[in-house]
Structure 1
Amino acid sequence: MKISRRTILAAGAALATMTAAGPAFAASEYTLRIHTLVKSPHPYNDMAEAMKAEIEEASDGRVEVRIFDSGQLGQDPAVIGEMAFGTIDIMISTTSNAVQQIPEFGIFTMPYLFGGMDEALAAVGPGTDVHAHFEQVYADRGVGMKLLALGGSGTRNMSTKSVPIEGPADLAGLKMRTPPSPMDSKTWAAFDMLPVTVAWGELYAAMQTGVAEAMESSLPGYTGSKLYEVAPNLALTEHTVQLNHTSISEITWNKLPEDLQQIVEEAAISANIYGVEQAKGYDAALVETLQTDHGVTVTRPDKQAFMEVLAPLQVELAESLDLATEYALLKQ
Structure 2
Amino acid sequence: MKTKIMHGIAVSAALTLAALPASAETILKLGSVAPSGSPWGKWVTGVAAKIEEVSGGELKIDLLLDAQAGDEQTILRQTAKGRLDIAFVSNVPLTLLSQEMAIPSAAYLFDSPEQGTCVTYEHLSGVLGEIMENAGVVPLTWMEVGHYVLFSKEALSTPADLNGLKMRIAPSIADAALANAWGVQGVPMGTSDTIPALQTGAVDAAWFPTLFGIGIGTHKVAPHVTVTNHARLIGTAAVSERTWSKLSDQEKQWLGVFTAAGPKLTEGILGAEPALLGQLEAGGVPVHKLSPEEAGAWKASATGVLDAVIAEAGGNAQAVADRIAEAKAACGA
TM range (shorter): 0.7 to 0.9
Moved more, 234-243 or 48-57: 48-57
Aligned mates of 1:273, 1:209 — CA distance in 2 = 39
Please name the residue that 1:330 is paired with. Answer: 324
Contact kept? 1:150, 1:246, Cα under 8 Å: yes
Residue of 240, 249, 254 corresponding to 2:231 = 240
8 Å contact from structure 1 (residues 117, 152) kept in 2: no
Deviation at residue 171 of structure 1 after TM alignment: 1.0
| Match 1:206 to one of 197, 200, 225 | 197
Following the alignment from structure 1 to structure 2, what is the Cα–Cα distance between the partners of residues 192 and 63? 50
Match among 280, 283, 288 for residue 290 of structure 1: 280
2:161 corresponding residue in structure 1 = 170
Shift of 1:274: 0.8
Find the partner of 2:310 among 311, 318, 321: 318
The 3 A distance-change label for structure 1 pair 271 and 116 is farther
Say yes or no: does 1:108 pair with 2:104: yes
- 2:298 alignment partner in structure 1: 306
- Does the aligned pair in 1 maintain the 2:226–2:289 contact within 8 Å? yes
Letter matched to residue 315 of structure 1? D
Q: Alpha-carbon deviation of 1:193? A: 0.5
The one-letter code matched in structure 2 to 1:278 is G
Q: Secondary structure at the match of 2:182?
A: coil
Distance verdict in 2 for CA 1:56–1:310, change over 3 Å: same
2:175 maps to 1:184: yes
Between stretches 70-79 and 148-157, larger displacement belongs to 148-157
Counterparts of 1:134-149 in structure 2, within 5 Å, are 134-140=128-134, 142=135, 144-149=136-141
**What's the counterpart of residue 4 of structure 2?**
none
1:96 offset after TM fit, Å? 2.0
- State the distance in 2 between where 1:69 and 1:172 align: 38
Match of 1:269 in 2: 259
- 1:83 counterpart residue number: 79
Partner amino acid for 2:268? Q
1:258 aligns with 2:249: yes
Mapped partners of 2:64, 2:196: distance in 1:
23
Residue 147 of structure 2: which of 155, 167, 178 is its match?
155
TM-score by length of 1: 0.83
Distance 2:261 2:192 in 1: 25
- Report if the CA contact (8 A) 2:76-2:93 is conserved: no
Q: Secondary structure at the match of 1:115?
A: coil
- Deviation for aligned residue 1:291: 2.7
Contact 1:219 1:282 in 2 (8 A): no
2:121 corresponds to: 125
Q: CA deviation at 1:45?
A: 1.9
* Higher relative contact order, chain-length normalized (CA < 8 Å, sep 6+): 2
Q: Which runs of 5+ in 2 are unaligned?
A: 1-22, 327-333
Q: After alignment, is 37-46 or 169-178 more displaced?
A: 37-46
Provide the C-alpha distance between the structure 2 equivalents of 1:331 and 1:289, rounded to a whole number of angstroms.
36
Q: State the 1:110 CA deviation.
A: 1.0
C-alpha distance in 2 between matches for 1:77 and 1:315: 26
The match for 1:16 is none
Identity across the alignment (%): 22
Deviates more, 1:113-122 or 1:185-194: 113-122
1:75-100 C-alpha deviation (Å, 9 max, x unpaired):
11111121133332222222123213
> Aligned residue pairs: how many?
299
- Structure 1: any 5+ residue segments left out of the alignment? 1-26
Indicate if the aligned counterparts of 1:158 and 1:236 stay in contact, CA closer than 8 A: yes
Cα 1:201–1:101 change in 2 (3 A) is farther
